Structure 1
Amino acid sequence: MSGTKKSLPILFAVMFLVMVGFGIIIPVLPFYAENVGASPTQLGFLMAVYSLMQLIFAPMWGRISDRIGRKPVIMIGIFGLSVSFFLMGLSSQLWMLFAARIIGGFLSSANMPTVMAYVADITTPEDRGKGMGMVGAAVGLGFVFGPAIGGIFSKISLSMPFYIAGTSSFITFFLVLFLLQESLTKENRNEVHSENASLWQSFRGSLSILFILQLFISLSLSGLEATFAYYAAKKAGLGTVTLGYLFMIMGVAGAIVQGGLVGILTKKYGEGVVIQIGIIVSAIGFGLILLIDSFMTAAIFLTIFGIGNGVIRPSISALLTKKSTSGHGSATGLLSSFDSLGRIVGPPLGGWLFSVAIGLPYISGIILSIVALILYQMYTLKSKKIASTN
């Protein structure tokens, strides 16, 4: 664990830069795709295909990192991300844009699970939540600054943000190459694997419930993200610029909580308590969102939701890597896969619910949160039952 103090800040910088790259293209991609002939439906598929690649390949990359080490897999992920951004910037036809997104989704799905596995390698069980929270904070801040940068450079040309994102990722690749040390010793690389170990080995016993819990949390969050712009416009007359400020406020608040509070709370009370508090606070946030009537109420209520939601993923990651015996990469890869599944299903489901009644995505968010709480109780009961029989 001696490399913890040195490696965590480097990992923070790496994930921040990776997510800045993601964020840069967010405000530009719909207009860029439209320019090369994409319809709204095709744009939806263009967004979804990236998450689909993450869903399929994140467990594979996590497992590979258990075998060959974290550093080379992180480098593959970041290099692939850089290449995909440049390919998108060069795309003049829709199929080229789809090809770039597929390549980017396939290779960059290595990043998140491997970085989380790296954190698990270099932290003690007591400090695991703090390390996972720092990664979450880097992700949140990257999404705060990225879209602002993308918006500024899109004024030069619509392709410029993609080149900026590609360059940023390329620089990050060299940051990993020269500054990040390998966290997984050769002795530890194969000790958790047998010849016939399944890719889904992590999905067994009581731990399987935690993966499903993450799916429900991801479903509720992505449903909100897909519909909130329309909801805020109807309820409070908020425009795109104001919405940008709202998500920036939520992102900063979430990053602060993840970077500081998660570590303190998990160390004092344990991940289970923090997961449950997070679910309850985000459920309250969903309920409050139904009462939005101005920018101020939107900012406060969305931030309450963001704080609650923000502590859940790092705490689940920390708990999984503590309890799983199939390798940190396998566990975090499978978790990323379930998160991606929620991000694929959530937006169309949220959109459909919104079309039925504008408050339904947030009422369903409350219901999904209650289900998540019940799932956690099931996890604790099943864990105790397994422990008592051993």
Structure 2
Amino acid sequence: MKFQFTNLKTKVKLISVRKLIYQKSSDDTEGKKQKNLTIGRKYVFLALALSFMVNFDSNAAIPIIATYSLSLGASLLFMGFIVGIYSMVHIPSNLIFGRLVDKFGRKRLIAFGIFLDGLSMLLYALAQDPFFLLFGRIIHGIGGGFGGPATMAYISDATSQRRSGRGMALYGMSIGFSNLIGFMLGGLVAQIIGVSNLFFILAIILFAMSFTSLLLPSIYQPSEEKLNLRREISQFRKVIFRKSMISPYFSMLAMMFNMGIVTTAYTVMLDDAGYTAGMILSIMVIFSILIHYPAGKLSDKIGYTKVMLIGLLLIASAFGVFMISLEIPLPMIGMALLGVGHGLIFPSSAGMVKEKTKGSESGVATGTFYALIVAGVAIGGPISGFSLQMYNTQFTLALGIIIPLIVAISLLVLYKYHRKD
């Protein structure tokens, strides 16, 4: 009887231990699930939709803004100034307003940035002369300087550290879709309903999205510490010039430099060869979107630097294909390689920026990241145009091989140095 009672007690203890192990396992699994996202999925999708809209309006304007300014009476010289003023304002705005995103929080500045974008679209629609349109372009550049870093920082806050690559991949996909749909619809819809009507509709959508953004939960609490100007500048420099930022920043700059060559010089080469440049460029965007999320997962698994290196080698290879011939299917193969390279570099570099910064630095880091996206095209475009005029197509396309390879070698040296260190 005593033996049976002892045996029963042992069984009860075993069952209790099993329950505790099962409960702990369940809690760990649930904890892991919760750590992947800090907010509900519906809010993540809303943040991605807002990111899409922040970029969509400027992409929709790209195919039509030059001809629209000419129709309002701008000279060719002033037309170029109207087109370029957006980048001139947008680059410093990203750097400056990225810090404000850290000081005042993400949510309010997302709403404010999208509201300014909507206001700029309304000014575009109401413009009766090129000077009024120029004013609208300046407001647009400022709005993008708020909206871009704020949405990127918000999505960075919403994803866990161990899933940085995947979170930034989703963010990159929202930008990719905005590029693809914006380029395609901008010119097409403007031809059907008119340029002014297109801008007016975009203004209404952006105003609505601005108020919708207030539904986002606040997941970042700004520091209440007040810094003087000297300490603000010191904080700014500390984030931008951090050694760990060299790899993602220069990878992004090299990639966007090559995009500047493509949008400026290579499109001219395609047009001269009798091809529709927009259709061939869309191949690059589609491949980039398709590879983004797998690249994000790969970055989380094997490391960001390795994925960036592969991406840089692929975009250099793409320009090698471009140099061979303009005969179909080589431009398409080159665009596919360029798209895969783009899809590898964006999530890996953005994920590394997220991993190497604290929440209170995220706005500055993402603002710099956004500024480099615009700066790369702004530098690559004029240089490739000058090269095409002064030299030849082969020399111009060779720049698209040399620059990524220089950055790739630099990344490899840095990677080996950090491993030894």
Q: TM-score under structure 2 normalisation?
A: 0.83
In the alignment, is the contact (CA less than 8 A) between 2:106 and 2:150 conserved in 1? yes
Partner SS, residue 239 of structure 2: coil
Number of the residue aligned with 1:287: 320
In the alignment, is the contact (CA less than 8 A) between 1:58 and 1:109 conserved in 2? yes
Partner SS, residue 324 of structure 2: coil
Deviation at 1:192, TM superposition (A): 9.2
Quick one: which amino acid aligns to residue 351 of structure 2?
Answer: A
Quick one: which amino acid aligns to residue 250 of structure 1?
Answer: M
Q: How does 1:229-244 map to 2 (within 5 A)?
A: 229-234=267-272, 236-238=273-275, 242-244=276-278
Number of the residue aligned with 1:79: 115
- Whether 1:119 and 2:155 are equivalent positions in the alignment is yes
**Aligned residue among 353, 367, 379 for 1:320:** 353
Distance 2:386 2:167 in 1: 37
Q: Which has the higher contact order (CA 8 A, sep 6+)?
A: 1
| C-alpha distance after superposition, 1:205-259 (max 9, x if no partner) | 413523344323322221221122211133x421xxx32222222212211211x
Number of the residue aligned with 2:92: 56
Distance 1:121 1:301 in 2: 36
Distance 2:185 2:242 in 1: 45
In the alignment, is the contact (CA less than 8 A) between 2:57 and 2:202 conserved in 1? yes
- Whether 1:163 and 2:194 are equivalent positions in the alignment is no
More helix, by proportion: 2
Structure 1 range deviating more: 92-101 or 213-222: 213-222
In the alignment, is the contact (CA less than 8 A) between 1:119 and 1:128 conserved in 2? no
Deviation at 1:182, TM superposition (A): 1.9
In the alignment, is the contact (CA less than 8 A) between 1:8 and 1:119 conserved in 2? yes
In the alignment, is the contact (CA less than 8 A) between 1:20 and 1:165 conserved in 2? no
Distance 2:271 2:157 in 1: 45
Q: Give ranges in structure 1 of 5+ residues lacking alignment.
A: none
Number of the residue aligned with 1:305: 338
**Aligned residue among 186, 189, 208 for 1:153:** 189
Deviation at 1:296, TM superposition (A): 3.1
Q: How many residues in Structure 1 have an aligned counterpart in Structure 2?
A: 377
Alpha-carbon RMSD? 2.2
Number of the residue aligned with 1:214: 252
Deviation at 1:288, TM superposition (A): 0.7
Distance 1:127 1:142, change over 3 A: same
Distance 2:345 2:410 in 1: 14
Distance 2:232 2:416 in 1: 27
In the alignment, is the contact (CA less than 8 A) between 2:98 and 2:364 conserved in 1? yes
Q: TM-score under structure 1 normalisation?
A: 0.90
Deviation at 1:82, TM superposition (A): 0.7
Structure 1 runs of 4+ aligned residues shifted over 6 Å read: none
- Whether 1:131 and 2:167 are equivalent positions in the alignment is yes
Structure 1 range deviating more: 23-32 or 92-101: 23-32
Quick one: which amino acid aligns to residue 402 of structure 2?
Answer: I
In the alignment, is the contact (CA less than 8 A) between 1:88 and 1:162 conserved in 2? yes
User: Identity of paired residues, percent?
Assistant: 25
**Aligned residue among 166, 170, 175 for 2:212:** 175
| C-alpha distance after superposition, 1:107-147 (max 9, x if no partner) | 22112222221122121122111111111111111111123
Number of the residue aligned with 1:337: 371
